[in-house]
Amino acid sequence: MIGRAITSIFWGIAADRLGRKPVIAFSMLSVVILQIFFGLSTKYWMAIAARLLLGSLNGLLGPIKAYAIEVCQTEHQALGISVVNTVWGLGVVIGPGLGGYLAQPAEKYPQTFSKESVFGRFPYLLPCLVVSIFAAIVLISCIWPPETIHKHKITEKDIRIVKALPSQQAHWDMPRKKSLLQNWPWMSTMLSYCLFGLHETAYSEILSIWAVSDSKYGGLSFSSGDIGQVLSVSGASLLVYQLIIYHWVNKFLGPLNSSRIASSLSILVLATFPFMTYLSGTKLSFAIYAAAMTKSVLGITISCGMCLLQNNAVRQDQRGTANGIATTGMSFFKAVAPVGAGILFSWAQKRHDATFFPGDQVVFLMLILVQLCGLISTFEPFLVLPPVEECR
* pLDDT for position 155: 53
* φ, ψ dihedrals at 143, nearest 5°: -65, -35
Q: Which residue has the higher pLDDT, 3 or 156?
A: 3
pLDDT at 30: 93
46 pLDDT tier (thresholds 50, 70, 90): very high
Q: Which domains does the chain have, with CATH numbers?
A: 1-75+104-142 (no CATH), 181-378 (1.20.1250.20)
State the pLDDT at residue 230. 84
Is residue 355 over pLDDT 80? no
Range 212-219 contact pairs with CB under 8 angstroms and sequence separation of 24 or more: 213/349, 215/277, 216/352, 217/349, 217/352, 217/359, 217/360, 218/274, 218/277, 218/348, 218/349, 218/352, 218/358, 218/359, 218/360, 218/361, 219/277, 219/360
Residues 322/180, Cβ–Cβ less than 8 Å? yes
Above 90 in pLDDT, residue 260? yes
Q: Are 4 and 61 in contact (CB under 8 A)?
A: yes
Mean pLDDT throughout 127-138? 92
Count the residues in the chain.
392
Instruction: Give the pLDDT confidence score for residue 268 in this predicted structure.
Output: 95
Cβ–Cβ < 8 Å for 279, 287:
yes
pLDDT-based confidence at residue 50 (cuts at 50, 70, 90)? very high
